[in-house]
Amino acid sequence: MSELSVKAGLDAMDVASYLRRHPQFLVEFPDIAMALTMPREQGKAASLASYQLDVLRDKNREINRRLHELIDIAHENEALMVRVHTLTLALMRARSLPETANTIVAALGEDFRDPATRGDAGGGASVLVRLVLFRADPDLPAAEWLIAEPAGTEAFPAFTEFFKRAEPLCGRLQQDKLDALFGAQAQQVQSAVLLPIGAGMLAIGSGDANRFHPGMGTVFLKLIGEAISTAVSRFPVS
């Protein structure tokens, strides 16, 4: 009590007095009992009940930590699902292949920006998007982000294994892959994700070496790839 201020000491005494008058208080509010620090017996022999209470508190803290982690993951997954849904609707509204291509690049360029700066006017954390289509179409725009190659997979020998596996690829790409996709901007890409989209592929590159990595989940990436593949296949080859 000597370490407490007069006001704090009075408050503590009031609390102690209240608890003495209401011995059932902690029964009605067990969560408070779990948060309190109980005195231990002096000497080598410690109270078994006190030890058990400490163990329960530790488990309770761990459960709360894991619960908050799961809640954060659920919120992140919900946000990802909304983006996939929004992209799918935008692709459904596209009335031509050029409009579809522009929709893909515009949407993914925004969705895969650094979450901390998404929506900032500066756009310093933007990513590079490359859409590869194994077809030629005179209406497709002559844009840096579009690679139209009627020769198909034969024109991309560096990606033979990728096309064979037909699964999203995340992480750091070999230089020949970077050069084939990003050309003069290849040095800006420190990590990337590749998506097979049926008759083509989609590449998203980031200047952050940790933005895309082999351990990241690919469920939503597969959904994006399938949505894009379906949207592109609606338009026959000219």
* Predicted pLDDT of residue 58: 87
Choose between 34 and 2: higher pLDDT: 34
14-18, 32-36, 159-163, 179-183: the lowest-pLDDT one: 32-36
Number of Cβ atoms within 10 Å of the Cβ of 185: 14
* Predicted pLDDT of residue 180: 94
Q: Give CA–CA dist 224/131, Å, rounded.
A: 13
In three-state secondary structure terms, 114 is coil
Residue in the block written with tokens 């024109």: 155
Say if residue 9's pLDDT is above 90: no
Percent of the chain with pLDDT over 70: 82
Say if residue 152's pLDDT is above 80: yes
Best-predicted range by mean pLDDT among 43-57, 70-84, 141-155? 141-155
Strands across the sheet containing 200-206 = 146-148, 128-133, 200-206, 191-196, 169-171
pTM (predicted TM-score): 0.67
Number of Cβ atoms within 10 Å of the Cβ of 54: 15
